[in-house]
Amino acid sequence: MNQTVNISPAAATNTPLHVQANMTQEQWRQAIKFDNVDIGWIVMSIGMAVGAGIVFLPVQVGVMGLWVFLLSAVIGYPAMYLFQKLFINTLAESKKCTDYPGVISGYLGKNWGIGLGILYFLMLVIWVLVYSLTVTNDSASYLHSFGVTKTHLNNNVFYGLALISLLSYIGSKSEKFLFKISGFMAVTVLLLVAVMGILLVPQWSFANITPVQDWGLMLKNAIITLPFTLTSILFIQSLSPMVISYRSHEKSIEVARYKATRAMKIAFTILFVIVFFFAVSFTFAINQAEAKHAMELNISALAMIAHYFPGSWATIVGIVINIFAVVTSFFGVFLAFKEACRGLAMNVLERKFETHAINTKLVDKFTTVFIILVAWGAVALNLPILSFTSICSPIFGIVGCLIPAYLVYQVPSLHKYKGTATNLIIITGVLLCISPLLAFI
């Protein structure tokens, strides 16, 4: 007969995971079995990261040079792994895990919750606008280029409304339905990017690798490149909905934490291997002058790769990668943005009403309508939102690095996460905050 073991919180950090979860070893093995929810969140996380970063990172690397990128990667990728793991732990430890503002409110109070909720909201709204504009303009451009339409549909405001409404409807459906769509797109994009990286190998030339001339300038450029490096495999936007999903599926916090961390590790490893290889392969194949020309013309890495392959194969593959990457990223940001909006709304409503008196289903519906209107407004006005994406670097630094680190030092139940890893996260957060400023010095 199975027996459960009760332990005190003080001893939890020195005991096996199954004991921390108050389970037997057999119960623990059954609880952490890999299932469709795990696969779904892995591909959703990959889809979140396979957005503009994977398309434009190689051009940035080509301009700055391989050595700058490698230094940026040495700083950024380990730190990114650590701060995403810490982000999961701070969310999973929360007694109330329904949304990011709610988690912060539980730790630091409602005023902190709404303040950081607004910051989190700003980070996500920028990416919602970016992906809404990109998917609308690019799809209209492709339809026109292939002769499907006589005019660019993005000039019609109702095309944008219809497209955003359709994507939002899909994003609001069940997890399983969304996982199937995003999973197919994310896997397709990754495979195509990996194949493109391999096809570039015959074009490699060591003459394209510029030597290091100024170590101080290299360090500065590495910090400037840091946001590009992180964005290429960053999926912090999907971590909050992922942890909340696991908490809703699992009775044990320890099981939810373990499964969320495992999904993050797998997604991180897959993204790192493929994106790092693609960026390095691109840098060996393209010289710095060509990369600078591409940046001046705002041409993506995929557009430059088309130069190496005759015919339309590379063009078609580039279109598939662009559309699939942007759509999967839109779904990931949509989930996170919906959760952030819901959290802010609940924070405000709970100040006036009892929680049980609030119609949460109605709040969810109004939240979805709000997201559609915000995205449609950006599409209708055709806002130059890409010029503001640099704002995300310091917000990533604050929300993803500095706030979780602050919680570790401020909240007694999180003191166990103090150490070298947290200090590295703090340094990375500061670098992300100052990175946009260095570009102007």
384-419: pLDDT as tens digits: 655 566 677 888 888 888 988 998 998 888 898 899
Q: With the C-alpha atoms ordered 98, 402, 42, 304, is the resulting torsion angle positive or negative?
A: positive
Residue environment code for 395-421, b if the CB has 16+ CB neighbours within 10 A, otherwise e? bbbbbbbbbbbbbbeebeebeebeeeb
Where helices occur in 146-285 by DSSP H, the ranges are 157-172, 175-199, 215-231, 236-249, 253-285
CA distances from 94 to 15, 98, 216, 407 (A): 20, 10, 42, 11
250-302: pLDDT as tens digits: 888 889 999 999 999 999 999 899 888 988 888 898 888 888 877 776 556 76
Question: Residue 177 corresponds to which tokens in the numbers above?
Answer: 């339905």
Q: Is the pLDDT of residue 2 over 50?
A: no
Residue environment code for 44-62, b if the CB has 16+ CB neighbours within 10 A, otherwise e? bbbbbbbbbbbbbbbbbbb
Residues 41, 148: Cα–Cα separation, whole Å: 35
152-207: pLDDT as tens digits: 787 888 888 999 999 888 888 766 777 778 778 888 888 888 888 888 888 888 88
User: Which residue, 416, 421, 422, is CA-closest to 10?
Assistant: 416
CA distances from 13 to 6, 20, 258 (A): 14, 8, 14
How many helices (H) and strands (E) the chain has is answered by: 19, 0
- Of the pLDDT bands very low, low, confident and very high (cuts 50, 70, 90), residue 128 is confident
Q: Which residue ranges form the domains of the chain, and what is each CATH number? A: 36-438 (1.20.1740.10)
162 and 28 Cβ atoms separated by less than 8 Å = no
Question: Tell me, what's the pLDDT at 231?
Answer: 78
User: Which residue, 130, 125, 132, is CA-closest to 154?
Assistant: 132
Question: Residue 405 corresponds to which tokens in the numbers above?
Answer: 């680190």
Question: Residue 53 corresponds to which tokens in the numbers above?
Answer: 């970063």
Dihedral angle, C-alpha 175, 180, 182, 185, nearest 10 °: 180
Residues 49, 76: Cα–Cα separation, whole Å: 15
Question: Residue 259 corresponds to which tokens in the numbers above?
Answer: 């499964």
Q: How many CB atoms lie within 10 A of CB 205?
A: 10
Residues 332, 40: Cα–Cα separation, whole Å: 12
Q: Which of 28-37, 300-309, 312-321 is least confident?
A: 300-309
User: Which residue, 258, 214, 285, 222, is CA-closest to 79?
Assistant: 222
316-347: pLDDT as tens digits: 777 788 788 878 878 878 887 887 888 888 88
176 and 36 Cβ atoms separated by less than 8 Å = yes
308 compared with 47, residue with greater pLDDT: 47
CA distances from 34 to 190, 257, 264 (A): 22, 14, 13
